[in-house]
Structure 1
Amino acid sequence: MILILSTPNDDDTNLVMEHLAILGEKCIRINDLDLFNGNTKMHYELSPEPTLIVENSFFGKIDLADVNCVWYRKFGFFDKFKKNFRGETNVEMLEYLKLEYTTTLDLFFDFLKNKKWLNNQLNIKKLNKISTLIASQQVGLTIPKTNITNTADSLNRNESYITKSIKDGSVIDVGENTYFFLTKEVNPKTMAQYSHFFPSLFQEKVDKEYELRIFHLNGKNYPMAIFSQRDTQTGVDYRHYNYSKPNRMIPYTLPEEVDRKISLLMKNIGLDTGSLDIIKGKDGEYYFLEVNPSGQFRMTALPCNYNLHHEVAHCLQKMNT
């Protein structure tokens, strides 16, 4: 049996499950949020030995000991659950609830630790943006010059920089307003206003020719070029989507050496699958930016006619033996 650990409304999970059904593979899906809103019942018992039972209206009652393999798609996003506590302003209470939330999910990870995994949760848990940048350099990939600092004195005030979250970007609701923590440009005029600030990540602004989004699956890369630089709205980062005039996206062929280094990087950081962001600079260099283990890949599959959801399903089918 295949277990998919996901989150509500994830299209990639939906499409992979459709392909698994076509292949005749039995799979169950547990959404993180459903464990806490009552849609999926769970019962964990320690004696005489640990047992973990889950039940919902879609797959009935299942003993997770019967699972052969696990796909860790995206699971455990507390921000999807915290809206239930809207109005709660006590930081200590929210921290306590988050710890209870994550510890409950850890029961699942520990119970399933000896199963076959497509993206092992333990490897994802220890992953961070900085260690991945360091690992990418070690396999020979180029990265933009990167600093983490709390003072403008360590930066060139006459240059523009790119700033992004040190950990992960987020979406935060404050009252009626929603704030998106995405990649942004910091120009000299803005920098001149501050002498010190909260520790922040700054990267050199690469003069880019285009962006690349690359989906990786078990040693094979599926690259897509995104012509985001032609639009001022998406020029810094294609995620500042222009829905009225979408960026052009096409299949892409990586240089053999870059392709090899990406696969080696993914092997070294212990990821079977993930979505990588790379910039092709006007200087001809390929600049590695980051990898998202649970990044969406529908956006790569459809424009490039890559049958990625079938490939993931076929991979799970082979693991389920």
Structure 2
Amino acid sequence: MILILSTPNDDDTNLVMEHLHLLGEKCIRINDLDLFNGNTKMHYELSPEPRLFVENIFFGRIDLSDIQCVWYRKFGFFDKFKKKIRGETNIEMLEYLKLEYTTTLELFFDFLKDKKWLNNYLSVKKLNKISTLIASQKIGLTIPKTNITNTADSLDLNESYITKSIKDGTVIDVGEKTFFFLTKEVNPRTMIGYNHFFPSLFQEKIDKEYELRIFHLNGKNYPMAIFSQRDTQTGVDYRHYNYSKPNRMIPYSLPGELDEKICRLMKTLELDTGSLDIIKGKDGEYYFLEINPSGQFRMTSMPCNYNLHYEVAQCLKKMNT
């Protein structure tokens, strides 16, 4: 039996499950949030030996000892749980609830640790943006000049930079306003006069020809070119989507050396799947940016006809034998 650890409203999970059904494979899905809103019941008993049961209206009661393989899709996004307790403003209480939340989810990881995994949770948990950039350099990939600093004195005031989250971007609601923490262009001259600020990540702004979004699955890359630079709204980051005039997105053929280095990087990081972001600069260089092991891949699959949801389902089927 296949277990998918996911989160509500993830369409990639839905599509893969449809393919698994057509392939005749039995699978169950546990959403992180459903464990805390009562949609999925859980029972963990420690003696005489650890046993973990889950139950909901879709698959009944299941002993997770019967699971053969696990797809770690998306599992453990506290922000979605936090929205359910929006009225709670006490920081200490939120920190306590977050610890209880993550510890509960880790019960699943520990209980399932000896199963076959598509993206082992340990590899995903230890991944971070900075260590990934360092690892990519060691393999021979080019990255933009990158700094983490709390003072403008260490930046060249004559250069333009982009800034983004050191860990993960997010969306924060304050009253009736919503703030998106995505990649932004910043001119150091605007920071003159600030003696210090919160430690922030700055990268040189690459004059790009186009962006690449690459989905990796078990040693094979599925690349897509995004012509985001043609629109001022998406020029810095294609995720500032222009829904009225979407970017052109087409299949792409990677140079052999770049394709091989990406596969080596994923193997080094012990990741089976992930979405990679790369910029093709006007100088002809490819600049590696980051990896999202849980990134949605429908955006790559559908414009390029890669049928990635079927490929993931086939991979899980092989693991389930």
Fold match by TM threshold 0.5: yes
Band the TM-score falls in, shorter-chain normalisation: over 0.9
Give yes or no for contact 2:206–2:281 (8 Å, CA) kept in 1.
yes
> In the TM superposition, what is the alpha-carbon distance from 1:186 to its structure 2 partner?
0.2
CA–CA distance in structure 2, aligned partners of residues 190 and 292 of structure 1: 31
Is 1:47 aligned to residue 74 of structure 2? no
> In the TM superposition, what is the alpha-carbon distance from 1:72 to its structure 2 partner?
0.2
> In the TM superposition, what is the alpha-carbon distance from 1:270 to its structure 2 partner?
0.7
Corresponding residue SS for 2:198: strand
Offset from partner CA, 1:228-277 (integer Å, 9 cap, x none): 00000000000000000000000000000000000000000010000000
1:62 corresponding residue in structure 2: 62
1:144 corresponding residue in structure 2: 144
- Letter of the 2:127 counterpart: L
CA–CA distance in structure 1, aligned partners of residues 246 and 127 of structure 2: 31
Corresponding residue SS for 2:162: strand
> In the TM superposition, what is the alpha-carbon distance from 1:188 to its structure 2 partner?
4.0
Offset from partner CA, 1:81-108 (integer Å, 9 cap, x none): 1112112111000000000000000000
1:290 corresponding residue in structure 2: 290
Corresponding residue SS for 1:254: coil
1:107 corresponding residue in structure 2: 107
- Letter of the 2:30 counterpart: I
Q: State TM-score, norm by structure 1.
A: 0.99
CA–CA distance in structure 2, aligned partners of residues 226 and 193 of structure 1: 38
Corresponding residue SS for 1:44: strand
> In the TM superposition, what is the alpha-carbon distance from 1:47 to its structure 2 partner?
0.2
CA–CA distance in structure 2, aligned partners of residues 87 and 22 of structure 1: 43
Is 1:37 aligned to residue 37 of structure 2? yes
> In the TM superposition, what is the alpha-carbon distance from 1:12 to its structure 2 partner?
0.3
Corresponding residue SS for 2:280: strand
Corresponding residue SS for 2:123: helix
Is 1:83 aligned to residue 65 of structure 2? no
2:92 corresponding residue in structure 1: 92
2:22 corresponding residue in structure 1: 22
Q: Percent identity?
A: 86
Is 1:278 aligned to residue 281 of structure 2? no
Give yes or no for contact 1:157–1:191 (8 Å, CA) kept in 2.
no
Give yes or no for contact 1:78–1:101 (8 Å, CA) kept in 2.
yes
Corresponding residue SS for 2:199: strand
2:4 corresponding residue in structure 1: 4
Residue pairs, 1:209-288, within 5 angstroms? 209-288=209-288
CA–CA distance in structure 2, aligned partners of residues 158 and 199 of structure 1: 21
CA–CA distance in structure 2, aligned partners of residues 178 and 97 of structure 1: 23
Give yes or no for contact 1:211–1:225 (8 Å, CA) kept in 2.
yes
> In the TM superposition, what is the alpha-carbon distance from 1:189 to its structure 2 partner?
4.1
Residue pairs, 1:150-229, within 5 angstroms? 150-229=150-229
Corresponding residue SS for 2:197: strand
Offset from partner CA, 1:54-96 (integer Å, 9 cap, x none): 0000000000000000000000101111112112111000000
Structure 1, gaps ≥5 residues long: none
- Letter of the 2:227 counterpart: F
| Aligned residue pairs, count | 321
1:301 corresponding residue in structure 2: 301
2:123 corresponding residue in structure 1: 123
Give yes or no for contact 2:2–2:320 (8 Å, CA) kept in 1.
yes
- Letter of the 1:114 counterpart: D
- Letter of the 2:277 counterpart: D
Give yes or no for contact 1:166–1:201 (8 Å, CA) kept in 2.
yes
Offset from partner CA, 1:116-175 (integer Å, 9 cap, x none): 000000111011000000000011000000000000000011211010000000111111
CA–CA distance in structure 1, aligned partners of residues 36 and 279 of structure 2: 39
CA–CA distance in structure 1, aligned partners of residues 305 and 68 of structure 2: 30
Q: State TM-score, norm by structure 2.
A: 0.99
Give yes or no for contact 1:215–1:300 (8 Å, CA) kept in 2.
yes
Corresponding residue SS for 2:201: strand
CA–CA distance in structure 2, aligned partners of residues 91 and 288 of structure 1: 36
Give yes or no for contact 2:155–2:188 (8 Å, CA) kept in 1.
no
Give yes or no for contact 1:32–1:77 (8 Å, CA) kept in 2.
yes
- Letter of the 1:203 counterpart: Q
CA–CA distance in structure 2, aligned partners of residues 6 and 102 of structure 1: 14
CA–CA distance in structure 2, aligned partners of residues 76 and 104 of structure 1: 10
Give yes or no for contact 2:152–2:188 (8 Å, CA) kept in 1.
no
Q: Where has structure 1 moved over 3 Å in runs of 4 or more?
A: none
CA–CA distance in structure 1, aligned partners of residues 51 and 175 of structure 2: 42
CA–CA distance in structure 1, aligned partners of residues 86 and 221 of structure 2: 41
Task: Supply the RMSD in Å over aligned alpha carbons.
Answer: 0.7
> In the TM superposition, what is the alpha-carbon distance from 1:193 to its structure 2 partner?
4.8
